[in-house]
Amino acid sequence: MALGTCVALFFLLLFIGAPIAFVLALSSLAYLLIKGEDLYLVAEQLFNGMNAFVLMAIPFFILAGEIMNKAGISERLIEFSNLIIGRIRGGLAQVNVLASILFAGITGVALGEVAALGRVFIPNMERQGYDRPFAAAVTASASLIGPIIPPSTIIVIYAATMNVSIGTMFVGAIIPGLLVGLTDMAVVKILAERRRYPKREVPVTAQLFLGRLRDALLALVMPVLIVGGILGGLFTPTEAAAVSVGYAVIVGTLVFGTLQMRQLPEILGNTAYDSSKLFLIIAGAALISWIFGVENVPTLVKHGFKSFSDNPYVLTFMINAFFVIMGMWLDPAVMIILFAPTIAPLAYEVGMHPIQFGIMMIVNANIGFCTPPVGNVLFAVCDVAKIGMSQLSRAILPFLVANFLLILALGYVPAISLTLPRLFGLID
């Protein structure tokens, strides 16, 4: 009765458009009132949800991304990407994806990539002859690379929720993140040839290339610094995030000279706003996750799935289909906190490694950013491109289908996410 009311109220509030943090807290409060529990549990569980030292890495990563973005790094990465692949058919669309891959090591946030790259690429692609929905779809799909390739705030949340190594998750996410980008590039290639999108000559000289390469490398050192420092035992993930802020300040002020003190209030304000929103969501999700634990939901879910089939391949498909459906409604952070502890026992039982399952779920959860009706990236891109949701939803469908096939590959082929962690001796 109490659990059913909690779930029903959750989806009702979600459907009417209430902020997700309040959806989580109010539906949990209804459960506690029906059960007659002391309401001090609300404050206790909300605090417990945020009381993890490793979560302090999140505002630092967001701050580093804000600094690098304000320092004009995105423009330098775009120029470097254009020199590499700008001359092929559909070249500017391919540059869009490649720039997102390179930019992923800076922001770790999908909406950050939309803000930084979308306003540059969408109008430029339209001027070169691409239709606007396609330009918007490429931008939206490519933005999903950011939360996968380290540094990634969503990986930090998963690692804190499931008590796994952030460093191992960061290393395991590198190949899957790159594959998401390559999948997008393959879709762009097919559609560009079929629709005869333009190609243009991009002049390249040795001096120009070396200059663009230097600027790009200065930006790309940051993820190497973070992952290498964690794996080398030089600092913890939280310390690595703080170091990335210091590096971003040095590059923006002393190297490029593009970061100004007058930008600091805006940078800190954006960081505080984005971090507080995320922590409110984490706290609310922790409360309802505690309720799921009390009600033994993981066992109920496992029995529910296995009532359909015992075949590992079928169960893997069903798990991913379940995540896709939930991703249509839930923020990735909420989905991970609610369903990672719930689904993980079933995934382990069908033979998945904990790191493999984590990477698969993170990639799947991020696709929810681009699925209607509640995809945050879709709304952001629609606003930038000035198009309707239905137009963008149709244009992005080929990318979503290709990425879902990649997610299945992550579930069926452990080597995709486990090869690098094993190579570095992080797992057996």
Query: Per the domain annotation, does 131 fall within a domain?
Result: yes
Question: Taking the mean position of all CA atoms in its chain, how far away is CA 391?
Answer: 23
Q: Are 124 and 377 in contact (CB under 8 A)?
A: no
Task: Give residue-wise pLDDT tens across range 335-354.
Answer: 898 889 889 989 999 999 99
Range(s) of the domain holding residue 117: 38-423
CB atoms within 10 A of CB 409: 15
Report the residue count for the chain.
Answer: 428
Q: Is residue 1 part of a domain?
A: no
Q: How far apart are CA 378 and CA 141, in angstroms?
A: 9
**What three-state secondary structure class fits 282?**
helix
In a domain, 26, yes or no: no
Q: How far is CA 273 from CA 59, 269, 297, in A?
A: 10, 6, 33
Question: Poorest-confidence range of 94-108, 174-188, 240-254, 318-332?
Answer: 94-108
Mean pLDDT of 320-325: 90
pLDDT digits (tens, 9 = 90+) for 115-166: 667 777 788 888 888 889 998 999 889 888 888 888 888 898 999 899 899 9
In a domain, 161, yes or no: yes
Domain assignment of residue 156, yes or no: yes
**Most trustworthy range by pLDDT among 47-61, 91-105, 306-320, 366-380:** 306-320
Task: Tell me how far apart the alpha carbons of residues 297 and 6 are, in angstroms, rounded to a whole number.
Answer: 13
> What is the C-alpha separation between 39 and 128, in angstroms, rounded?
59
Largest CA distance in the chain: 73
Count of domains forming the chain: 1
Residue 221 lies in a domain: yes
Classify residue 21: in a domain, yes or no.
Answer: no
Would residue 30 count as lying in a domain? no
Please state the pTM of the whole predicted model. 0.87
Answer yes or no: are the C-beta atoms of 359 and 367 closer than 8 Å: no
Residue 125: C-alpha distances to residues 92, 95, 138, 212, 409 (Å):
7, 10, 10, 21, 31
The residues, ordered by sequence, that sit 6+ positions from 35 with a Cβ below 8 Å of its Cβ are 2
